[in-house]
Amino acid sequence: MRPPALAVVGWSGSGKTTLLTRLVPELRQRGLRVGVVKHSSDAHPLHREGSDTARYAESGAAFVAFATPAGVQLSFPEPASHVLSLLERFADTVDLVLVEGWKQGPLPKLEVWREGLGPLLAPGRQDVLAVVGECAVPEGVRGFKPDDVQGIAAFVLQCLRDGVLR
């Protein structure tokens, strides 16, 4: 079984990363163990070309880890579409996974919106639970100002308690 997950979606430059870097410590203060996944639709090398870790990955290793005094980076040779099944491996280590990006993924979503970057996604999407931004939100969707991290954290916790995040 995988841990509950919430996708934080929005146009490039909307403030997703900024929100997550503020939301993670707020959720941790409230007792949650939070994991974060950065999802990208663009091809992005996981290992620097010619590096030892790239050579291990090319050799067919089941996973490749890069360990330093600052931490361990772990990669698996599976496409981004398999991220949910990969999260099952971490079910005992986190209470919630926040996925930055993955607009088209199957997770419930928190949309971060900023004027001038693109249209609001929420009106045409049943999976958007809330919108963070200075805008009017559709009926049935919660709205938050970008600096209301405590309110957003309370909303996420309520969604966890209510079983909305799966």
Domain assignment of residue 14, yes or no: yes
Query: Does some domain include residue 88?
Result: yes
Query: Which tens digits make up the pLDDT trace of 125-134?
Result: 999 999 999 9
pLDDT for the residue numbered 94: 96
How far the first Cα of the chain sits from its last, in Å, is 10
- The pLDDT, as a whole number, for residue 98 is 97
Other C-beta atoms within 10 Å of 9: how many?
26
In angstroms, the CA 80 to CA 78 distance is 7
Residue 154 belongs to a domain with what CATH number?
Answer: 3.40.50.300
Domain for residue 118, yes or no? Answer: yes
Note the pLDDT of residue 81.
Answer: 81
- R_g over Cα of the chain: 17
Please check whether residue 104 lies inside any domain of the structure.
yes
Domain count, the chain: 1
pLDDT, tens digit, 9 for 90 and up, residues 71-119: 999 888 888 888 888 889 889 999 999 999 999 999 999 999 999 999 9
Domain region containing 98? 5-45+78-161
pTM, full prediction: 0.91
- Whether residue 65 is contained in a domain is answered as no
Of the two residues 68 and 45, the one the predictor is more confident about is 68
Residue 60 lies in a domain: no
Per-residue model confidence (pLDDT) at position 67: 93
Measuring CA to CA, how many Å separate 51 from each of 66, 69, 77, 104? Answer: 11, 19, 16, 32
